[in-house]
Amino acid sequence: GQQLNQSPQSMFIQEGEDVSMNCTSSSIFNTWLWYKQDPGEGPVLLIALYKAGELTSNGRLTAQFGITRKDSFLNISASIPSDVGIYFCAGQQDNNNDMRFGAGTRLTVKP
């Protein structure tokens, strides 16, 4: 299946810093989503993007659906220790239910 290239693979930052991660693909996606997974838990939906160019915020999180429909980024501002976890991007093509995931960005926040 179509792979999503997510970067960076891991990040180690200081509390209070801003974070940026992104996902790219060689194919067009109609939906981009960002999930966070805490240890021992299932992925939790953070932001869903349904329209090219869309910029959506959820508290300190901001995500954008790239205008080419082949990429998306997630920013976290003023990071806090509870932001620690694995962040996954996911994309859906052709309005079907087949959702593809990136490999995840592992975020560590030092107090």
Contacts with another protein, residue ranges (CB under 8 A): 1, 31, 33, 35, 37, 40-45, 48, 86, 88, 90, 92, 95-101, 103-104
Helices (H), 12-110: none
Q: Cβ–Cβ contacts within 10 Å for residue 99, how many?
A: 14
Closest CA to 1 of 98, 72, 88: 98
CB of 91 to another protein, least distance (A): 12
**From CA 85, how far away is CA 76, in angstroms rounded?**
13
Question: Residue 37 or residue 77: which is nearer to another protein going by CB?
Answer: 37
Question: Residue 14 or residue 22: which is nearer to another protein going by CB?
Answer: 22
CB of 9 to another protein, least distance (A): 10
Structure tokens belonging to residue 11: 């990040």
Question: Residue 17 or residue 58: which is nearer to another protein going by CB?
Answer: 58
